[in-house]
Amino acid sequence: MPLPSSDRPDVTARLREALLAADFTADGLLELLGAPAYTALARSETVPALRATRGDGAQASLVRLFLLQHPVPYARVADVLPVDVLLESGWLVRAEDGAGGTGELRATVDVRPYGGPDGEDWFIVSDLGCAVGGAGGIGSRDEGVVLGVGGASTTLAGITVRKPVASALDVGTGSGIQALHAARHATRVTATDLNPRALHCTRLTLALSGAPEADLREGSLYEPLGDATYDLIVSNPPFVISPGARLTYRDGGMGGDDLCRSIVQEAGERLNEGGYAQFLANWQHVEGEEWTERVRSWVPRDCDAWIVQREVQDVTQYAELWLRDAGDHRTDPAEYAARYDAWLDEFEARKTRGVGFGWITLRKSGATEPSVTVEEWTHPVEQPLGETVQAFFARQDYLREHDDAALLAEHFKLAGGVVQEQIGLPGAEDPEHVVLRQHRGMRRATQVDTVGAGFAGVCDGTLSAGRILDAIAQLMGEDAVLLRDRTPAQIRLLVEQGFLEPVGQ
């Protein structure tokens, strides 16, 4: 299906105006459809929304047209939209066959209302039937199909550091969602994609959302950028590890996790000093190799890194996930079996036992000894995490600047919302474990010993860490020197993970 013209800003502006006038917004949809139908739509289930839009209203017509991709009678569309110019510029077409009936119109793209972080009314333009991958898989199996916003897109948007910057780069922009977010806090936004159709959708998304134009470049990864460098790089790349490239939106066309490795490794040269690069990625868990070492080896020189593995799937779960994503489970069973088999062959050849999914953040610090943290945290977190990410790197700087002696002279306070949990057998006098738990951000939990728990409990910024340890030593009848010797590692961890905050930082 040809895409609407991106050279008619006048038409895009009129369409935006009409959509807003009809309250075709994220909030408006929630009100019209109700939460169950609204969230079902986000799972690609359309029946509840079809039932909720049986009436004649303007919003109902727009939902049927742009989200459910049903034909709508000309007269009903004309009540809401400037039909003739939208037909002329390719946003709408006349329904061709008897199924649609004469005098009915269809949309050529999915236009999905999306609420920005400050309540902005944005619209994401993508291919029909592909706005989300749901239980039935995507609606098209064309190689160059452009997907809308999915869980991965919003995860990356949520973890991105949102400080004001001069330049931002979105690699593999797709429908343009990351570029749209970046336009709020970056003076210049550049977006690349291998797929020209994706760049076209991005141009429409930005224009229809009322955002400034971006510098759009066609080509692979950083290749179309010359030697330009950026303050922020984001990418939700085609990270799927598959037996062969089929769908551009997810299969990068390189073997195994090579595409993720390349995009991370090459980011070092593309970042300005102090800049962040943030990626979603998949990595192989290879027999006889620590996954942590594999991803650690991707970190470029001069960069600090924080890598979080959020999930691991075995090879069968992984193959099934992506077979379903493409709708392969709805094809001929023999074809499905052959594809599944090919996927497992590929993993076997690469000695891959599982696949990790996670977040990679780099910060170009230029430090002689960069700090690289690779960890697994699979529990729920509180998005958005952009500020948490920035604070993590600030704490790394702090810890790098303070050796153990300096740390003991510092004052700390317990971060807000941290609670202590005692775990042990019911009725037991003493807990077996003491756990500190955060209720914000990463929502971390960490086990501490009695000294750690006591220390954290006293930290209100009044006494230095060393003085607190001396008091604890006296209470417990321990040698104060030994305690001062063995505790800084625990304090370091509590600071690194955000349980303790240095006073005055």
Considering the complex, what minimum distance in angstroms separates the CB of residue 468 from ligand SAM? 46
Which segment (110-118, 172-180, 286-294, 348-356) binds ligand SAM by CB under 6 A?
172-180
278 near ligand SAM (CB under 6 A): no
Considering the complex, what minimum distance in angstroms separates the CB of residue 249 from ligand SAM? 4
Binds ligand SAM (CB under 6 A): choice among 108, 167, 236, 446: 236
Q: Nearer to ligand SAM by C-beta: 80 or 198?
A: 198
Which structure tokens are listed for 86? 């939208």
Considering the complex, what minimum distance in angstroms separates the CB of residue 190 from ligand SAM? 12
| Measured distance CA(182)–CA(161) in Å, rounded | 10
221 near ligand SAM (CB under 6 A): yes
275 near ligand SAM (CB under 6 A): no
Q: Nearer to ligand SAM by C-beta: 237 or 256?
A: 237
Binds ligand SAM (CB under 6 A): choice among 44, 53, 173, 487: 173
Q: Nearer to ligand SAM by C-beta: 174 or 466?
A: 174
Q: Is residue 441 left, alpha or beta, with left meaning phi > 0 and alpha meaning psi from -120 to 50?
A: left
β-partners of residue 374 are 307
| Measured distance CA(167)–CA(489) in Å, rounded | 38
155 in Cβ contact with 167 (< 8 Å): no
By C-alpha distance, which of 62, 147, 160 is closest to 113?
62
Considering the complex, what minimum distance in angstroms separates the CB of residue 189 from ligand SAM? 12
Binds ligand SAM (CB under 6 A): choice among 238, 300, 358, 454: 238
Which structure tokens are listed for 128? 């029909």
Considering the complex, what minimum distance in angstroms separates the CB of residue 43 from ligand SAM? 17
How many residues in the shown chain lie near ligand SAM by CB under 6 A? 24
**CB atoms inside a 10 Å sphere around CB 241:** 26
Residue 358, φ and ψ in degrees, nearest 5: -170, -165
Q: Is residue 278 left, alpha or beta, with left meaning phi > 0 and alpha meaning psi from -120 to 50?
A: beta
172 near ligand SAM (CB under 6 A): yes
Binds ligand SAM (CB under 6 A): choice among 110, 121, 193, 410: 193
220 near ligand SAM (CB under 6 A): yes
H or E element that contains 391: helix 386-401
Helix segments in 160-257, DSSP class H = 177-182, 196-208
427-447 b/e with 16+ CB inside 10 Å = b? Answer: eeeeeeebebebeebbebebe
Helix segments in 54-176, DSSP class H = 58-62, 74-78, 83-88, 151-159
248 near ligand SAM (CB under 6 A): yes
358 near ligand SAM (CB under 6 A): no
Residue 200, φ and ψ in degrees, nearest 5: -65, -45
Per-residue contact string for residues 33-72; x = within reach of ligand SAM by CB under 6 A:
----------------------------------------
Q: Nearer to ligand SAM by C-beta: 230 or 499?
A: 230
252 near ligand SAM (CB under 6 A): yes
Interface of this chain with ligand SAM, residues 139 to 158, rule: CB under 6 A: 149, 153, 156
| Measured distance CA(167)–CA(188) in Å, rounded | 5
178 near ligand SAM (CB under 6 A): yes
CA geometry: angle 496, 290, 499, nearest 5 deg: 15
114 in Cβ contact with 105 (< 8 Å): no
By C-alpha distance, which of 103, 128, 124 is closest to 16?
124
Considering the complex, what minimum distance in angstroms separates the CB of residue 248 from ligand SAM? 4
Binds ligand SAM (CB under 6 A): choice among 134, 174, 275, 300: 174
Considering the complex, what minimum distance in angstroms separates the CB of residue 145 from ligand SAM? 9
**CB atoms inside a 10 Å sphere around CB 466:** 18
194 near ligand SAM (CB under 6 A): yes
Q: Nearer to ligand SAM by C-beta: 81 or 206?
A: 206
265 near ligand SAM (CB under 6 A): no
The three-class DSSP label of residue 383 is: coil
Interacting residue ranges for ligand SAM, rule: CB under 6 A? 149, 153, 156, 171-175, 177-178, 192-195, 198, 220-221, 236-238, 248-250, 252
